[in-house]
């Protein structure tokens, strides 16, 4: 039984090292496991496919670099699909660093779509604080919430903003969200108050809390949860990227953690039995 | 030159990454330095973006370019300045007026939106007829959904002692909550590993060039 | 307290009477909220600056590190004001020489190479601690913790590609035993049930707190009891 006690008291830095290797090795030598698309991800894809070309959609970048590995691949995939479908994107941010995340994503995607023009097919309106209150204000008076784009240029100068006074002329809203304010607030205002379809991409931490909104009332049309959600979306648009590449590492790391849990529990029960015997 | 600065930037990034990872071994000055740089830059970024993206376009430009139509914006500007008075202990009480407007607006809106989205709509979404489906998995699932939601709500009702039939119902509610927490734990592991993948992608790709970033 | 009542009541009333003057007033209030919240953020940053200065002045433990935070904050603000950000011009026009040197504006250079790396690494540290905590604390001590553990393991397996591979051989008639399907089932039904119960109860809590604030029963935000 001493071996179990030894195992249970293993230096945590060994665990750290195993996790590091478990993630690093599959990144170098990929294993190529199968990837399956889930219903919630498919729903987001189908929603965009059904929107008429030329329609304006709103994507809100409600995250920062701390969750970039999970959410940026979603942003890239969604923008690629939208531009392929000739949808026009109005970008906003409820998190200040979302502005830069949006700029980085647009720079990367626009290189693949040379015909996309800023102000015509895409606009970055920048950051606004205030969360839910500001979204509600946007729905009543979009132009006074966003009098200018992120560069300070009046929005009247841009053809993409023509006729936008509220959410009426916006096909759908997609919030890429890492917390609060984010997807929850968009659902509460845009869908539940003004009846527009809302979809989202969130960190895996946030995904379970958002699932009750994916219901028959379609408070949320669909949800991309974490890196796996992003990888599934890359599969749908047939453009494998960072998320797809990371799936093998994710799998191996999960396996290692499950093994830790198993060993920990075996050790726990073995030592407990021994202690019970000693007491008896 | 830009390429050189890009490489230097990557090396700075690598240094900072290792400075933070060094905390895994033990707390040390490199970690503390990196932590303070993080706090400072983060605060500076918020400061600049709040000025450029909110105060200039939504306050200064409207007021200076068309004062007659926008002079009303001087009220929130005044309230905002009252808010800043919180920094001066002798007059920090004046910030309460601004706070009252903020809290009042938030409370009013939260009251309406949470009632609709998180209470009424969620209750509606639970009022399902599980037997409308011909799929056995779906029937079982929807039954679980209904029972789990109701028993979960019973668990959170603390005005009555959890005993007897009520206690048993609450106990079933706990089981559903535990499954939820387990699923949430699984997803949290997934999230944190994803962030580590991002970091190693930077180190192995952008820095060492072993993999394609 | 009176202001809170009037503002809160006006926002609620405007939902039921969406006509003048209620709708106009509530829209204006929401616009003001954006500006005041902007000032609140500035207050937060200045407060951090002030707290750090006090700590340095009083030579609090680890005070030299707070100088680094102050310097980082100041550098970021100065770069932002002088040369602007990626889209915003600053007080001084950015010369071609500077752009050729950095590739981007100084503010964006600091953001891209320092902040992005710091922020991403800070949160990725949790991967290691979660693994360690799983090993040491995740025990099947009771029926509740066993349920939690089983759900976590199934979700961890089912939400990765390895789950699909492990049970990919299962015939379609037994598809419900396929790990990704099990994980989806857990997420769609029992997880949603639990989360929905929390959501409804927390929602009721928010509604209660909002009413208490509007009616002046809850005053702690004003510094009272």
B149: number of Cβ within 10 Å = 26
Please tell me whether residue A177 adopts helix, strand or coil conformation. strand
Residues A141, C115: C-beta atoms closer than 8 Å: no
Query: Domain check: are A158 and A229 in the same one?
Result: yes
| Chain B residues within an 8 Å CB radius of A213 | 117
Query: Domain check: are A273 and A156 in the same one?
Result: no
**Closest CB from B5, B13, B149 relative to C117:** B13
Tally: H helices and E strands in chain A = 11, 6
Answer whether residue C178 shows pLDDT above 60.
yes
Sheet holding A170-177, edge to edge: A122-127, A88-93, A56-62, A170-177, A198-202, A223-225
Q: What is the pLDDT of residues A155-178, one digit of tens each?
A: 999 999 999 999 999 999 999 999
Domain boundary among A240, A255, A271: A240
Residues 56-95 in B contacting A (C-alpha not used; CB under 8 Å): 56-58, 61-62
Query: Domain check: are A145 and A61 in the same one?
Result: yes
Mean per-residue pLDDT, C151-176: 92
- Please tell me the predicted confidence (pLDDT) of residue A2: 73
| Chain C residues within an 8 Å CB radius of B3 | 103
Best probe of the C interface among A13, A208, A209, A234, by most C CBs < 10 A, is A208
- Please tell me the predicted confidence (pLDDT) of residue A113: 95
Closest by alpha carbon to B94, among A167, C14, C3? C3
Mean per-residue pLDDT, B3-9: 93
- Please tell me the predicted confidence (pLDDT) of residue B87: 95
Shortest Cα–Cα distance, C82 to chain B (Å): 11
pLDDT-based confidence at residue A1 (cuts at 50, 70, 90):
low
Query: Domain check: are A252 and A231 in the same one?
Result: no
Answer whether residue A7 shows pLDDT above 80.
no
Question: Which sign, positive or negative, has the C-alpha torsion C49, A131, A64, C101?
Answer: negative
Answer whether residue C41 shows pLDDT above 90.
yes
Closest by alpha carbon to A238, among A47, A8, A75, A77? A77
Which domain covers residue A17, as residue numbers? 2-30+246-279
Residues B199, C32: C-beta atoms closer than 8 Å: no
Q: What is the pLDDT of residues B103-121, one digit of tens each?
A: 999 999 999 999 999 999 9
Give the residue extent of every domain in chain C.
1-56, 61-137, 141-225
Please tell me whether residue B67 adopts helix, strand or coil conformation. helix
Answer whether residue A11 shows pLDDT above 90.
no
Shortest Cα–Cα distance, C165 to chain B (Å): 18
Mean per-residue pLDDT, C87-113: 93
Task: Check if the beta carbon of residue A193 is closer than 8 Å to that of residue B115.
Answer: no
Of the listed ranges B39-53, B170-184, C35-49, C135-149, the one predicted with least confidence: C135-149
CA–CA separation, A212 vs C115, rounded Å? 34
Which chain A residue has the Cα nearest residue B26? A13
Interchain contact B132–C (C-beta under 8 A):
no
Residues 6+ apart with CB under 8 A from B4: none
Task: Check if the beta carbon of residue B186 is closer than 8 Å to that of residue C156.
Answer: yes
Interchain contact C179–B (C-beta under 8 A):
no
Task: Check if the beta carbon of residue C184 is closer than 8 Å to that of residue A38.
Answer: yes
Mean per-residue pLDDT, B38-56: 97
- Please tell me the predicted confidence (pLDDT) of residue C24: 86
Please calculate the CA angle C2-B115-C12 and round it to the nearest 5 degrees: 35
Query: Domain check: are A13 and A58 in the same one?
Result: no
**Closest CB from C44, C117, C196 relative to B17:** C117
Answer whether residue A6 shows pLDDT above 80.
no
Residues B191, A203: C-beta atoms closer than 8 Å: yes
A238: number of Cβ within 10 Å = 7
CA–CA separation, A32 vs A39, rounded Å? 22
Query: Domain check: are A74 and A128 in the same one?
Result: yes
Closest by alpha carbon to A86, among A126, A113, A108, A47? A113
CA–CA separation, C46 vs B188, rounded Å? 33
Q: What is the mean pLDDT of chain A?
A: 94
Answer whether residue C20 shows pLDDT above 90.
no
Interchain contact B188–A (C-beta under 8 A):
yes
- Please tell me the predicted confidence (pLDDT) of residue C10: 85
Chains touching chain B through at least 3 C-beta pairs below 8 angstroms are: A, C
Q: What is the mean pLDDT of chain B?
A: 95
Chains touching chain A through at least 3 C-beta pairs below 8 angstroms are: B, C
Instruction: Give percent above pLDDT 70 in chain B.
Output: 100
Residues A130, C37: C-beta atoms closer than 8 Å: yes
pLDDT-based confidence at residue A32 (cuts at 50, 70, 90):
confident
CA–CA separation, A124 vs A131, rounded Å? 18
Answer whether residue C71 shows pLDDT above 90.
yes
Question: Which sign, positive or negative, has the C-alpha torsion C132, C136, C140, C141?
Answer: negative
C165: number of Cβ within 10 Å = 16
Residues 31-70 in A contacting B (C-alpha not used; CB under 8 Å): 66-70
- Please tell me the predicted confidence (pLDDT) of residue B128: 92
- Please tell me the predicted confidence (pLDDT) of residue B18: 97
Answer whether residue A280 shows pLDDT above 90.
no
ipTM of the shown complex:
0.93
Residues B45, A27: C-beta atoms closer than 8 Å: no
**Closest CB from C86, C128, C192 relative to A211:** C192
- Give the number of C-alpha atoms closer than 13 A to the C-alpha of residue C141, restricted to the C-beta side: 4
C-alpha distances in angstroms, A237 versus A42, A76, A103, A225, C51?
Answer: 11, 11, 21, 17, 49
Please tell me whether residue C33 adopts helix, strand or coil conformation. helix
Shortest Cα–Cα distance, C91 to chain B (Å): 12
Answer whether residue C224 shows pLDDT above 60.
no
Answer whether residue A239 shows pLDDT above 70.
yes
Answer whether residue B160 shows pLDDT above 80.
yes
Residue A60 φ then ψ, to 5°: -105, 125
Residues 199-258 in A contacting B (C-alpha not used; CB under 8 Å): 203-205, 207-209, 212-213, 215-217, 219, 225-228, 242, 245-246, 249-250, 253-254, 257
**Chain centroid offset of residue B120 CA:** 23
| Chain A residues within an 8 Å CB radius of B176 | none
| Chain C residues within an 8 Å CB radius of A254 | 156-157, 160, 162
| Chain C residues within an 8 Å CB radius of B32 | 62, 65
The DSSP string of B69-135 is HHGGGHHHHHHHHHHHGGGSGGGGGGHHHHHHHHHHHHHHHHHHHIIIIIIIHHHHHH---GGG-S-
| Chain C residues within an 8 Å CB radius of A263 | 135
Interchain contact C29–B (C-beta under 8 A):
yes
Closest by alpha carbon to A160, among A117, A204, A97? A117
Interchain contact B131–C (C-beta under 8 A):
no
Chains touching chain C through at least 3 C-beta pairs below 8 angstroms are: A, B
| Chain A residues within an 8 Å CB radius of C22 | none
CA–CA separation, A179 vs A123, rounded Å? 23
Task: Check if the beta carbon of residue B46 is closer than 8 Å to that of residue C45.
Answer: yes
- Number of structural domains (chain A) is 2
pLDDT-based confidence at residue A279 (cuts at 50, 70, 90):
confident
Give the residue extent of every domain in chain B.
128-213
pTM summary value: 0.95
| Chain A residues within an 8 Å CB radius of B193 | 23, 249-250, 253-254
pLDDT-based confidence at residue A36 (cuts at 50, 70, 90):
very high
**Chain centroid offset of residue C36 CA:** 20
Interchain contact B127–C (C-beta under 8 A):
no
**Closest CB from B5, B59, B183 relative to C35:** B59
- Please tell me the predicted confidence (pLDDT) of residue C135: 87
Question: Which sign, positive or negative, has the C-alpha torsion C60, C61, C67, C72?
Answer: negative
Which chain B residue has the Cα nearest residue A218? B125
Q: What is the pLDDT of residues A127-141, one digit of tens each?
A: 999 999 999 999 999
């Amino acid at each position: 039984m001493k071996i179990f006690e030894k195992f249970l008291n293993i230096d945590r830095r060994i665990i750290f090292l195993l996790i590091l290797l478990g993630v690093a090795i599959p990144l170098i030598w990929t294993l190529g496991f199968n990837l399956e698309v889930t219903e919630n991800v498919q729903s987001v894809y189908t929603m965009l496919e059904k929107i008429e070309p030329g329609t304006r959609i709103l994507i809100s970048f409600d995250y920062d670099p701390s969750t970039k590995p999970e959410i940026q691949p979603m942003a890239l995939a969604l923008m690629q699909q939208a531009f392929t479908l000739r949808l026009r994107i109005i970008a906003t941010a409820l998190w200040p660093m979302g502005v830069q995340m949006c700029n980085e994503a647009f720079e990367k995607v626009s290189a693949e779509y040379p015909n996309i023009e800023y102000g015509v097919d895409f606009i970055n309106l920048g950051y606004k604080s205030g969360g839910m209150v500001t979204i509600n204000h946007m729905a009543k008076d979009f132009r006074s919430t966003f009098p200018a784009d992120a560069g300070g240029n009046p929005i009247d100068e841009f053809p993409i903003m023509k006729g936008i006074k509220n959410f009426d002329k916006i096909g759908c809203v997609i919030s890429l969200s890492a917390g609060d304010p984010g997807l929850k607030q968009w659902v509460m205002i845009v869908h539940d108050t003004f009846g527009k379809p809302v979809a989202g991409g969130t960190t895996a931490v946030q995904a379970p809390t958002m699932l009750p909104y994916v219901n028959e009332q379609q408070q949320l049309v669909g949800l991309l949860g974490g890196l796996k959600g992003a990888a599934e979306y890359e599969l749908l648009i047939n453009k494998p990227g960072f998320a797809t590449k990371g799936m093998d590492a994710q799998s191996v790391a999960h396996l290692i953690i499950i093994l830790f849990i198993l060993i920990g529990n075996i050790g726990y029960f073995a030592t407990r039995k021994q202690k019970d015997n000693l007491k008896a | 030159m830009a390429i050189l600065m890009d490489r230097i930037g990557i090396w700075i990034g690598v240094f900072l990454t290792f400075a933070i990872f060094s905390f895994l071994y033990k707390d040390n000055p490199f970690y503390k330095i990196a932590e303070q740089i993080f706090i400072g830059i983060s605060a500076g970024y918020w400061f600049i973006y709040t000025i450029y993206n909110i105060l200039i376009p939504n306050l200064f430009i409207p007021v200076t370019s068309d004062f007659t139509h926008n002079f009303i914006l001087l009220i929130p500007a005044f309230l905002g300045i009252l808010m800043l008075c919180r920094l001066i202990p002798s007059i920090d009480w004046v910030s309460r007026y601004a706070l009252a407007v903020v809290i009042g607006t938030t409370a009013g809106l939260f009251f309406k939106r949470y009632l609709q989205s998180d209470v009424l709509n969620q209750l509606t979404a639970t009022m399902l007829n599980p037997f409308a489906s011909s799929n056995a998995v779906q029937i079982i699932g929807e039954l679980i959904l209904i029972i789990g939601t109701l028993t979960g709500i019973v668990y959170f009702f603390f005005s009555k002692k959890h005993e007897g039939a009520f206690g048993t119902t609450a106990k079933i509610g706990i089981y559903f909550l535990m499954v939820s927490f387990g699923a949430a734990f699984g997803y949290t592991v997934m999230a944190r590993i994803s962030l580590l993948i991002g970091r190693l992608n930077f180190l192995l790709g952008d820095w060492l060039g072993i993999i394609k970033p | 307290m009176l202001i809170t009542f009037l503002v809160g009541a006006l926002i609620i009333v405007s939902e039921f009477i969406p006509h003048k003057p209620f709708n106009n007033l509530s829209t204006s209030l929401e616009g003001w909220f954006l500006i005041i919240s902007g000032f609140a953020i500035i207050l937060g940053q200045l407060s951090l600056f002030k707290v750090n200065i006090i700590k340095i002045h009083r030579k609090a433990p680890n005070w030299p590190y707070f100088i680094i935070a102050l310097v980082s904050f100041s550098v970021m603000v100065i770069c932002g004001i002088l040369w602007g950000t990626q889209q915003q011009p600053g007080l001084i026009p950015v010369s071609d020489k500077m752009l050729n040197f950095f590739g981007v504006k100084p503010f964006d250079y600091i953001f891209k190479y320092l902040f992005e790396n710091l922020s991403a690494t800070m949160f990725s540290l949790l991967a290691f601690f979660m693994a360690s905590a799983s090993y040491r604390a995740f025990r099947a001590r009771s029926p509740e913790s066993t349920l939690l553990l089983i759900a976590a393991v199934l979700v961890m397996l089912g939400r990765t590609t390895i789950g699909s591979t492990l049970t990919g051989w299962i015939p379609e008639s037994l598809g419900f035993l396929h790990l990704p399907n099990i994980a989806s089932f857990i997420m769609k039904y029992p997880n949603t049930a639990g989360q929905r119960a929390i959501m409804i109860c927390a929602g009721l809590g928010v509604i209660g707190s909002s009413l208490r604030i509007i009616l002046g029963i809850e005053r702690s935000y004003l510094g009272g009891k």
